[in-house]
């Protein structure tokens, strides 16, 4: 799974803008676009994204690992 693409998909499903997510993370919106390009991400940032987007990305990663 490409985590950046997954984050972007969930963000769009939740009708959240890049600006909104950037405000929640207290960062510039260019950082959010950089996240979309990432194939991996640190757990602290992923945990923050789970909270603000109300989605468990860790479960998706675990499910993918279990399939392998």
Mean pLDDT of 21-31: 96
Looking at residue 65, what is its pLDDT? Answer: 83
CA-based R_g, the chain, Å: 12
Report how far apart, in Å, the C-alpha atoms of 28 and of each of 17, 24, 25, 60, 62 are: 13, 10, 9, 27, 29
**Residue 17: its pLDDT value, please?**
97
Provide, rounded to the nearest whole percent, the portion of the chain with pLDDT above 70: 100
Whether residue 43 contacts residue 1, with contact meaning beta carbons closer than 8 Å, is answered with no
Q: How far apart are CA 13 and CA 7, in angstroms?
A: 10
């Amino acid at each position: 799974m490409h985590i950046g693409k997954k984050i972007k998909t969930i963000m769009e499903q939740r009708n959240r803008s890049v600006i909104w997510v950037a405000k929640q993370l207290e960062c510039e919106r260019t950082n959010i676009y950089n996240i979309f390009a990432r194939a991996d991400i640190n757990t602290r940032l992923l945990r923050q994204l789970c909270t603000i987007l109300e989605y468990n990305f860790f479960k998706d990663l675990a499910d993918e690992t279990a399939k392998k």
